[in-house]
Amino acid sequence: MKALIGVTAGLEGEKISLHGNNTESLLRAGALPFIIPYTTDETVVEEICERVDGLLLTGGEDIDPAWFGEEPCPGLGTVTPQRDWLEIHLVRACLRREKPIFAICRGCQILNVACGGTMYQDLFSQRSDLLQHMQRSPRSHLTHAVKVTEGSLLQQITGVSEFKVNSFHHQAIKRPAPGFRIAAMARDGVVEAVESPRHSFVLGVQWHPENTAQTDAISRRLFRAFVDACIKQKKGTFQNGKS
């Protein structure tokens, strides 16, 4: 049986929105994705996390800095309070059940915030000497390099120590959540991926592999590794505490 993967989506007024590349990348990796509806009912969140074999946190708009104890800075973009609440509760409910989580861009940030980490609300006004992290090239074009942390899950998956990614973010992780480690960094020191060594598969990437999965082998490997982890979780063959 295929792994059932819950996928988060954006909220624009009454409309739930998601780039199709997210679900397509999961379908191509052999999973059965379903889009998680908006709810404020914690028992519904718990039941969703009980039933799914994994969680994909997708890209989107900014996170309300109140979640990491800050006032909004001038460069903060649009926040979606319902989405912040939902995704933070999904992350915590999935982690309690050892369900694999793969988190993309905003997803990587919300994963970190849900676990107690902090953020740059607006990199470009809070840091200097930066690379272009909000690229103007097409979404499928790989623009800046990331250096992979030796011994990380990300290194196991990709099999390389450095590779190129696309980049569409003005927020970034400042302090990784307790128990998390940096899995990749750009040459300017911006955190590009985090993971939790205490869990079997909890990985967040700051770039958008869903936009490059058709052309880039490393992007496909990431989705494949996530889906494999979800299948293992489903079969109960994961041991906790894997490093």
| Chain center to CA of 229 | 15
Told to judge if 105 belongs to the known catalytic residues of this protein, a careful annotator would answer: yes
Nearest to 79 by CA among 106, 113, 46, 51: 106
- Placement of tokens 């990380």 in the chain: 152
Range 115-134, binding Mn ion (CB under 5 A): 133
Which residue lies nearer to Mn ion by CB, 48 or 173?
Answer: 173
- Which helix (H) or strand (E) covers residue 57, if one does? strand 54-57
Which residue lies nearer to Mn ion by CB, 132 or 156?
Answer: 132
- The DSSP output letter for 171 is -
- At closest approach, how far in Å is the CB of 216 from Mn ion? 15
Distance CA 44, CA 11 (A): 18
Q: Which one of the listed residues 49, 105, 108, 230 is annotated catalytic?
A: 105
Told to judge if 210 belongs to the known catalytic residues of this protein, a careful annotator would answer: yes
Asked if 234 touches Mn ion (CB under 5 A), the answer is: no
Asked if 167 touches Mn ion (CB under 5 A), the answer is: yes
Told to judge if 24 belongs to the known catalytic residues of this protein, a careful annotator would answer: no
Q: Which one of the listed residues 108, 170, 210, 230 is annotated catalytic?
A: 210
Which residue lies nearer to Mn ion by CB, 25 or 167?
Answer: 167
Q: How many Cα neighbours within 13 Å face the side chain of 3?
A: 31
Catalytic residue list: 105, 208, 210
List residues binding Mn ion (CB under 5 A). 133, 167
